[in-house]
C-alpha cells in the first residue's frame, strides 16, 4: 500500500532539514501508529505525503500502490486514495460545508473517470454518515469549519473521510482537543471504515486513542527519523515512561 | 467661477463636438451652465487621482476593438421574465425591444417624452444636487447632451423586472444615456441592466424613491475588453424607502461607477454592492458618496474586486452623516483579492460624521488567495482551478448576498463562474 523509503525533506524557503531518512511500509488493511515528541516531523511527513507546498524532498521516495506519490498534484493524490485528516482543520468562510463535500466527492470521481453522484444520493449519503458522527444539519450548512469547536472540526474531518472513502488514511493528532465522548465518536467513525483493505496511519501523542483504534504496528519518530518500531506495547511503554528512554536508546 | 485657460480650451472643444438635443430645455441649459463653471475633470481633482479621465474627456472616442470574450457571454438574465428595452450603441432598438407597457409602471423614452411633468421635474435635479460637495462635471455634460434614455414611473408593484439591455457593435460609438426613475410611495421595481453601452459611454440614472417604495437594481457590465464606461447613479430616498443596487463588472479597460445616495427621510435603507473581475488591462473604479440626513437610516457598501495580470481596482467611498442624523447605521467594506503581485488596489474610504449617536464602520483590505485553504481543498480532490474558483466566489459572496432575488443571484453567480473558468481562476 504505502511505501516510504529514505525520505529526506527540508524547508523550501530555508535550509532546515526536517525529515532525515524516514522508512515506513504499510500493507493493505494495516493500522500503523506514529508517536513522537513535538517537533519531530510527524505533521511534516503527513503534509509531504499529501502534497502541501513549502517543502523540498531532497532524497528518497514515497509510493502508493507502487505509484510515485511525490510527483503528483495534491488533488491527484486524493483521487488515488490518499486522505489526510488535518491536525488543524482549515476554516473556509464563504464555502458551505455541503458544497465543499459534494465538490470534493465529485472532483475525485471525475479525476477517476467516474460518474458524478446525483444530488439525491449525495444527500442521503451525507445524512447517514453525519448521523453516526453526531454532526447536525446546522453544521453541514455552515461554512467549512467556521465557528466549529475543536471537537466539531475533528469530527468534520472524519465525515469527509467517510464520504470520500480513501484507501490510505492519515490521521494527524485527530484525538488532540477531544473529550472522551468525542474521541469515542471519532474512533467509532474510523473503525467503521476499517476493513476492505483500507490502511491507516495514526499520528498521536496518546495511548488512549490507540485503546480504541488498535494498531498493528507502532513507530516512534524523533528528529525526523523513525527510531523504533514495535507492537502495541510500544505505545504503552511511551505512555508509562515517556520518550526519554527511547531517545537515549536511539542516540 | 472661472476655468483656467488650457482646461477652458479642452472644455470648449469637447462642448463644440456635442449637440444639445430637443426637450428638457431648462434642465439642459442649467446643466450646461454647471459644466461651464466646473470645467472637465482632471487628475488634480481629489476624486480623479486614481483614475485618469483623459479618455472620458477626449473629443474623439478612443478606438475600442470588439472582443471574442464579449461574444462568449451568456445571455443576460436568461430565463427571467422581464420587459426588455434594447439600446444598440446607445440608440434605441424598437425591433429588439418589448412593447413598453407594464402593469404598475409607466415607461417612456427620454427622446419622446417632452411633456411628462414628473420627468421634467426629476431630469437633472438629482444630478444637480449631487454636484456638492464633490463636483461631477461629466454627469452634468450628460444632462446637457443625453440623446436618449428610459423614463420609468412606478405607481405600484411592477409586474416584472424592467431590463435595459445594451449591445455595442461599433468600435467608435459614443453614447450618453440618461434614465429617470420615479417610484411613487409604496411602489416597487426591479431594474436590470446588462451589457456594454458603447465604445465609450457616459450614463446617468436618477432615482427618486418615495416613502416606503422599494427599488432593486441589478447590473452586469462587460465581458467586453476595450470600452470606456462611466456611469452615475443619483438616488434620493424618502422615509422608509429602500434602495438596493448590485453591479457585476467583468473586464473593461476603463470603468468608473459613481453612486451618490441621499437618505433624506427617516428609516431609509440603501445598499450598494459590487463584484468586479479584471484580468490584464482592466481599470475599475467605484466612487460612492452616501449622505445620511434622516433618523435611523441604514446604508451598506460592499465592494469586492478580483484582480490579476496588472489589473487595477479603485474604491473611493464616503459616508457623510449630517448633524441630526441620529441612530445612523453605516457600513462600508471594500476588498480586493490580488491573484498576483502585478495587480493593485487603491482605496480611499472616508467617514465624516456630525451626529453623536451613530454606528459607522468601514474597512478596506487587499490580499492574496489563502494558500492554506487552497491546499485543504486540493487535498480533498478539488482541482486547482476549481479550488481557486470556489475561493474567489467565497470572497465575492458578501457582495452577491446583497441580491435579494435568488434567481438573479444565481444568474450572477453563474456569470462569475463562467468568467473564472475562462480566466484560469
Ligand atoms: N513551514 C514551516 N516553517 C518553519 N518550520 C517548520 C515548518 N514546517 C515544519 N517546521 C519545523 O519542522 C519541525 C517539525 O515540525 P512538525 O512536522 O510540525 O512536527 P510534529 O508534527 O512532529 O510536532 C519543527 O521544528 C517545526 O518547527
Ligand atoms: Mg504535528
Over chain A (251 residues), the average pLDDT of each successive run of 10 is: 96 95 95 93 96 96 95 95 95 93 92 90 93 88 92 92 94 87 86 88 88 92 94 87 77 51
Question: pLDDT tens for residues B284-303?
Answer: 999 999 999 999 999 999 99
- Judged by CB atoms closer than 8 Å, whether chains meet at A107 and B386 is answered as yes
Atom nearest to A37 CA in ligand 1: 22
Whether ligand 1 lies within 6 angstroms of the CB of A41 is answered as yes
Q: Whose CA is nearest to atom 9 of ligand 1?
A: A44
* Confidence band, pLDDT 50/70/90 cuts, at residue B403: very high
Count Cα neighbours of A85 within 13 Å in the Cβ-side half-sphere.
34
B133 upstream amide cis, omega within 30 of 0? yes
Read off the C-alpha cell for B197. 453601452
pLDDT-derived band at B72, boundaries 50, 70, 90:
low
| Chain A residue with minimum CA distance to B376 | A90
* Closest by Cα among A94, A111, A156, A147 to A129: A156
> Is residue B1's pLDDT more than 60?
no
Structure confidence at residue A91 (pLDDT): 95
Pocket of ligand 1 contains residue A40 by CB under 6 Å: yes
Task: Decide if pLDDT at B79 tops 70.
Answer: yes
Atom of ligand 1 nearest to the CA of A36: 22
- Does residue A34 have its Cβ closer than 6 Å to ligand 1? no
* Chain B residues touching residue A46 (CB < 8 angstroms): none
A interface with B, Cβ–Cβ < 8 A, is 50-53, 73-75, 77-79, 83-84, 86, 89-95, 99-100, 103-105, 107-108, 111, 143, 160, 164
* C-alpha torsion A219→A222→A226→A228, nearest 10: -60
Please answer yes or no on whether A75 and B391 come within 8 Å at the CB atom.
no
pLDDT score, position B71 = 66
Contact B394 A95 (CB under 8 A): yes
Whole-number Å distance, alpha carbon B122 to ligand 1 midpoint, is 66
Q: Is the CB of residue A46 below 6 angstroms from any atom belonging to ligand 1?
A: no
Q: Whose CA is nearest to atom 25 of ligand 1?
A: A39
**What is the predicted pLDDT for the residue at A145?**
95
- What is the mean pLDDT of the segment spanning B398-412? 95
The answer to whether the CB of B189 falls within 8 A of the CB of B216 is: yes
Q: Which helix (H) or strand (E) holds B206?
A: strand B200-209
Q: Which residues of A65-86 are buried (b: 16+ CB within 10 A; e: fewer)?
A: eeeebbebebbbbbbbbbbbbb
Cell readout for A91 is 476554516
ipTM of the complex: 0.95
Chosen for mutation from A90, A96, A110, A145 (greatest number of chain B CBs closer than 10 Å) is A90
Nearest Cβ partner for A103 among B371, B386, B398: B386
Which CATH superfamily is A2-250 part of?
P-loop containing nucleotide triphosphate hydrolases (3.40.50.300)
The pLDDT, as a whole number, for residue B5 is 73
Q: Write out chain A residues lying below 8 Å of B420, CB-based.
A: none
**In which band, very low, low, confident or very high, does the pLDDT at B2 lie, cut at 50, 70 and 90?**
low
Domain boundaries, chain A: 2-250
pLDDT at residue B148, rounded to an integer: 97
Interface test with B, best of A48, A77, A92 (most B CBs within 10 A): A92
CB nearest to B381's CB, from A52, A86, A104: A104
Q: Point out the residue among A52, A93, A104 whose CB comes nearest to the CB of B382.
A: A104
Q: Which pLDDT band, with edges at 50, 70 and 90, does B390 fall under?
A: very high
Residues B420-424 have a mean pLDDT of: 83
For the entire predicted model, the pTM comes to 0.91
For A208: left if phi > 0, alpha if psi spans -120 to 50, otherwise beta; the answer is: alpha
**Closest ligand 1 atom, CA of A18?**
12
Least confident window among A187-191, B267-271, B372-376: A187-191
Residues of chain A found within 8 Å of residue B389, distances taken between Cβ atoms: none
B179 or A232: whose pLDDT is higher?
A: B179
Query: Cα(B425)–Cα(B421) distance, rounded to whole angstroms?
Result: 6
Protein residue with least CA distance to atom 8, ligand 1: A44
Per-residue confidence (pLDDT) for residue B347, from 0 to 100 = 97
Q: Domain map of chain B by residue range?
A: 5-368
Q: CA separation (Å) from B42 to B137, B253, B260?
A: 10, 18, 20
Q: How far is the alpha carbon of A80 from chain B, nearest alpha carbon, in Å?
A: 9
- In percent, the amount of chain B with pLDDT more than 90 equals 91
Q: How far apart are CA A139 and CA A157, in angstroms?
A: 12
Q: Which residue of A has its CA nearest to B375?
A: A52
Query: Does residue B75 surpass a pLDDT of 80?
Result: no
Residue B229 reports pLDDT greater than 60 = yes
Report yes or no: B153 and B184 within 8 Å, Cβ to Cβ: yes
pLDDT band at B393 (very low <50, low <70, confident <90, very high): very high
Nearest CA to CA, how far is A143 from chain B (Å)?
A: 10
Taking the CB of residue B186, how many other CB atoms lie within 10 A of it?
Answer: 16
Question: What local confidence, expressed as pLDDT, does residue A115 receive?
Answer: 92
CB contact under 8 A, A160 and B373: no
A52 CA to centre of ligand 1 in angstroms:
13
Amino acid at each position: 500500500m504505502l511505501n516510504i523509503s529514505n525520505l529526506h525533506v527540508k524547508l523550501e524557503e530555508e535550509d532546515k532539514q526536517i525529515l532525515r531518512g524516514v522508512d515506513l511500509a504499510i500493507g493493505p488493511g494495516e493500522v500503523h501508529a506514529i508517536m513522537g515528541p513535538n517537533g519531530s516531523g510527524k505533521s511534516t511527513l503527513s503534509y509531504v505525503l499529501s502534497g502541501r507546498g513549502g517543502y523540498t524532498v531532497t532524497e528518497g521516495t514515497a509510493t502508493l500502490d507502487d505509484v510515485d506519490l511525490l510527483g503528483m498534484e495534491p488533488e491527484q493524490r486524493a483521487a488515488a486514495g490518499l486522505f489526510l485528516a488535518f491536525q488543524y482543520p482549515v476554516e473556509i468562510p464563504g464555502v458551505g460545508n455541503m458544497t465543499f463535500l459534494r465538490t470534493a466527492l465529485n472532483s475525485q470521481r471525475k479525476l477517476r473517470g467516474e460518474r458524478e453522484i446525483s444530488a439525491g444520493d449525495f444527500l442521503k449519503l451525507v445524512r447517514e454518515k453525519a448521523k453516526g458522527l453526531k454532526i447536525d444539519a446546522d453544521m453541514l450548512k455552515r461554512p467549512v469549519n467556521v465557528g466549529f469547536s475543536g471537537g466539531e472540526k475533528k469530527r468534520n474531518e472524519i465525515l469527509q473521510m467517510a464520504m470520500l472513502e480513501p484507501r490510505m488514511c492519515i490521521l494527524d493528532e485527530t484525538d488532540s482537543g477531544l473529550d472522551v465522548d468525542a474521541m469515542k465518536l471519532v474512533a467509532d467513525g474510523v473503525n467503521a471504515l476499517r476493513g476492505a483493505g483500507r490502511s491507516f496511519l495514526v499520528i498521536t501523542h496518546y495511548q488512549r486513542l490507540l485503546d480504541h483504534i488498535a494498531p498493528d504496528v507502532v513507530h516512534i519518530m524523533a528528529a525526523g527519523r523513525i527510531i523504533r518500531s514495535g507492537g502495541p506495547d510500544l505505545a504503552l511503554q511511551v505512555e508509562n515512561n515517556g520518550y526519554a528512554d527511547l531517545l537515549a536508546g536511539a542516540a | 467661477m472661472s476655468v483656467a485657460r488650457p482646461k477652458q480650451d479642452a472644455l470648449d472643444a469637447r462642448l463644440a463636438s456635442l449637440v444639445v438635443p430637443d426637450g428638457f430645455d431648462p434642465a439642459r441649459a442649467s446643466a450646461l451652465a454647471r459644466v461651464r463653471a466646473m470645467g472637465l475633470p482632471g487628475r488634480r481633482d481629489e476624486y480623479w487621482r486614481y483614475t485618469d479621465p483623459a479618455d472620458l474627456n477626449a473629443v474623439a472616442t478612443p478606438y475600442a476593438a470588439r472582443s471574442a470574450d464579449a461574444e462568449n457571454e451568456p445571455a443576460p438574465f436568461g430565463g427571467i421574465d422581464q420587459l426588455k428595452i434594447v439600446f444598440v450603441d446607445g440608440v434605441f432598438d424598437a425591433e429588439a425591444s418589448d412593447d413598453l407597457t407594464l402593469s404598475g409602471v409607466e415607461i417612456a423614452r427620454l427622446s419622446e417624452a417632452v411633456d411628462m411633468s414628473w420627468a421634467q421635474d426629476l431630469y437633472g435635479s438629482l444630478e444637480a444636487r449631487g454636484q456638492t460637495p464633490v463636483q461631477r462635471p461629466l454627469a452634468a455634460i450628460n444632462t446637457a447632451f443625453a440623446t436618449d434614455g428610459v423614463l420609468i414611473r412606478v405607481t405600484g408593484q411592477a409586474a416584472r423586472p424592467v431590463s435595459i439591455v445594451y449591445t455595442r457593435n461599433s468600435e467608435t460609438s459614443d453614447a450618453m444615456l440618461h434614465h429617470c426613475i420615479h417610484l411613487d410611495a409604496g411602489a416597487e421595481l426591479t431594474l436590470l441592466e446588462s451589457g456594454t453601452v458603447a465604445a465609450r459611454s457616459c450614463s446617468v440614472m436618477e432615482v427618486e424613491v418615495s416613502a416606503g417604495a422599494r427599488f432593486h437594481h441589478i447590473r452586469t457590465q462587460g465581458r467586453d475588453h476595450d470600452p470606456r464606461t462611466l456611469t452615475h447613479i443619483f438616488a434620493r430616498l424618502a422615509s422608509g424607502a429602500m434602495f438596493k443596487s448590485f453591479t457585476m463588472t467583468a473586464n473593461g479597460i476603463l470603468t468608473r461607477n459613481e453612486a451618490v445616495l441621499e437618505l433624506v427621510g427617516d428609516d431609509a435603507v440603501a445598499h450598494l454592492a459590487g463584484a468586479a473581475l479584471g484580468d490584464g488591462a482592466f481599470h475599475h473604479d467605484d466612487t460612492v458618496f452616501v449622505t445620511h440626513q434622516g433618523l435611523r437610516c441604514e446604508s451598506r457598501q460592499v465592494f469586492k474586486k478580483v484582480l490579476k495580470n496588472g489589473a487595477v481596482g479603485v474604491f473611493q467611498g464616503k459616508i457623510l452623516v449630517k448633524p441630526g442624523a441620529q441612530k445612523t447605521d453605516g457600513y462600508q467594506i471594500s476588498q480586493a483579492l490580488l491573484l498576483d503581485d502585478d495587480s493593485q488596489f487603491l482605496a480611499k474610504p472616508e467617514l465624516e460624521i456630525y451626529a453623536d449617536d451613530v454606528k459607522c464602520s468601514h474597512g478596506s483590505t487587499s490580499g492574496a488567495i489563502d494558500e492554506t485553504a487552497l491546499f485543504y481543498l486540493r487535498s480533498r480532490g478539488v482541482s486547482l482551478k476549481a479550488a481557486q474558483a470556489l475561493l474567489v466566489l467565497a470572497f465575492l459572496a458578501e457582495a452577491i448576498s446583497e441580491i435579494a432575488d435568488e434567481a438573479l443571484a444565481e444568474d450572477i453567480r453563474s456569470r462569475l463562474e463562467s468568467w473564472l473558468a475562462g480566466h484560469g481562476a
